[in-house]
Amino acid sequence: MIKIFNPDQSKWAEICQRPAKDAAEIEKICYPIFKEVKNTGDIAVRKYSQKFDGLTVTDFELASDLMENAADEVPAQLKSAIQRAYDNIYAFHRAQSSEKLELETTKGVLCWQEKRPIDKVGLYIPGGTAPLFSTVLMLAIPAVIAGCREIILCTPPGKDGNVPASILYTAQLCGIKRVFRVGGIQAIAAMTFGTESIPKVFKIFGPGNQYVTGAKQLSTRYNTAIDMPAGPSELLVMADSTANPAFVASDLLSQAEHGIDSQVIMVTTDEEMIDLVEAEVTEQVKLLPRKNIAEQSIANSKLIYLADKEKAAEFINQYGPEHYILCSSDEEYFLRELRNAGSVFVGPYTPESAGDYASGTNHTLPTQGYAKQYSGVNLDSFLKSITFQRISDSGLRNIGPAIEVMAEAEGLMGHKNAVSIRLDQLNINKRK
Amino acid sequence: MIKIFNPDQSKWAEICQRPAKDAAEIEKICYPIFKEVKNTGDIAVRKYSQKFDGLTVTDFELASDLMENAADEVPAQLKSAIQRAYDNIYAFHRAQSSEKLELETTKGVLCWQEKRPIDKVGLYIPGGTAPLFSTVLMLAIPAVIAGCREIILCTPPGKDGNVPASILYTAQLCGIKRVFRVGGIQAIAAMTFGTESIPKVFKIFGPGNQYVTGAKQLSTRYNTAIDMPAGPSELLVMADSTANPAFVASDLLSQAEHGIDSQVIMVTTDEEMIDLVEAEVTEQVKLLPRKNIAEQSIANSKLIYLADKEKAAEFINQYGPEHYILCSSDEEYFLRELRNAGSVFVGPYTPESAGDYASGTNHTLPTQGYAKQYSGVNLDSFLKSITFQRISDSGLRNIGPAIEVMAEAEGLMGHKNAVSIRLDQLNINKRK
When pLDDT is cut at 50, 70 and 90, the band that residue B64 belongs to is confident
On the question of pLDDT at B21 being above 80, the answer is: no
pLDDT of residue B230: 85
User: What is the overall mean pLDDT for chain B?
Assistant: 95
Q: Is A2-19+232-360's fold the same as A23-227's?
A: yes
Map out the domains of chain A as residue ranges. 2-19+232-360, 23-227, 393-431
How many C-beta neighbours within 10 Å does residue A310 have?
A: 12
Report CA-CA distances (Å) from B384 to B133, B151, B163, B388: 27, 16, 32, 13
Element (DSSP H or E) covering residue B105: strand B101-106
* Catalytic positions of B: 322-323
CB B184 within 8 A of CB B156: yes
Q: What whole-number percentage of chain B has pLDDT above 90?
A: 89
- Check if A322 is active-site: yes
Residues in A closer than 8 angstroms to B134, CB to CB, are 406, 410
B419 interaction partners in chain A (CB closer than 8 Å):
351, 353-354
pLDDT at B133: 97
At A389-402, the pLDDT tens digits run 999 999 999 999 99
Contact B216, B364 (CB under 8 A): no
User: Is there a contact between A368 and A231 (Cβ–Cβ < 8 Å)?
Assistant: yes
Taking an 8 Å cut-off on Cβ atoms, the answer to whether A402 and B284 are in contact is no
DSSP labels, B384-419: EEEEEEEE-HHHHHHHHHHHHHHHHHTT-HHHHHHH
Domain A2-19+232-360, CATH class in plain words: alpha beta
pLDDT surpasses 90 at B68: no
Report yes or no: B260 at the A interface, CB cutoff 8 Å: no
**pLDDT of B128 strictly over 80:** no
Residue B138 has pLDDT above 80, yes or no: yes
* Chain B closest-CA separation from residue A73 CA (Å): 13
Phi, psi of B231 (to 5 degrees): -145, -170
Q: How many angstroms separate the CA atoms of B375 and B320, rounded?
A: 12
B280 to chain A, any CB pair closer than 8 A? The answer is no
Instruction: Provide the pLDDT for residue B385.
Output: 97
Q: Are B71 and B164 in contact (CB under 8 A)?
A: no
What's the confidence (pLDDT) of residue B58? 82
Phi, psi of B86 (to 5 degrees): -55, -50
Cβ A414–B101 below 8 Å, yes or no? no
Counting other chains too, the contacts that A69-75 makes at CB distance below 8 Å and 24 or more residues apart are A70/A165, A70/A166, A70/A168, A70/A169, A70/A172, A71/A169, A71/A172, A73/A165, A73/A169, A74/A165, A74/A166, A74/A169
Contact in structure between B111 and B102 (CB atoms under 8 Å) = yes
Residues comprising chain A, all counted = 432
- Contact assignment for B405 to A257 by CB distance below 8 Å: no
Mean pLDDT, rounded, for B368-395? 97
Question: How is domain A23-227 classified at the CATH fold level?
Answer: Rossmann fold (3.40.50)
Q: From first to last of its 432 residues, what are the pLDDT tens digits of chain A? A: 999 999 999 999 999 999 877 777 898 899 999 999 999 999 999 999 999 988 888 899 999 888 889 999 999 999 999 999 999 999 999 999 999 999 999 999 999 999 999 999 999 999 877 789 999 999 999 999 999 999 999 999 998 889 999 999 999 999 999 999 999 999 999 999 999 999 999 999 999 989 999 999 999 989 999 999 888 999 999 999 999 999 999 999 999 999 899 999 999 999 999 999 999 999 999 999 999 999 999 999 999 999 999 999 999 999 999 999 999 999 999 999 999 999 999 999 999 999 999 999 999 999 999 999 999 999 999 999 999 999 999 999 999 999 999 999 999 999 999 999 999 999 998 887
Q: Do B385 and A375 touch (CB under 8 A)?
A: yes
Backbone angles phi, psi at A80, to 5 degrees: -70, -35
- Under 8 Å between Cβ of B205 and B139: yes
* Share above pLDDT 90 across residues of chain A, in percent, rounded to a whole number: 89
Q: Give the pLDDT score at B279.
A: 97
> Of all residues in chain A, what percent carry a pLDDT higher than 70?
100
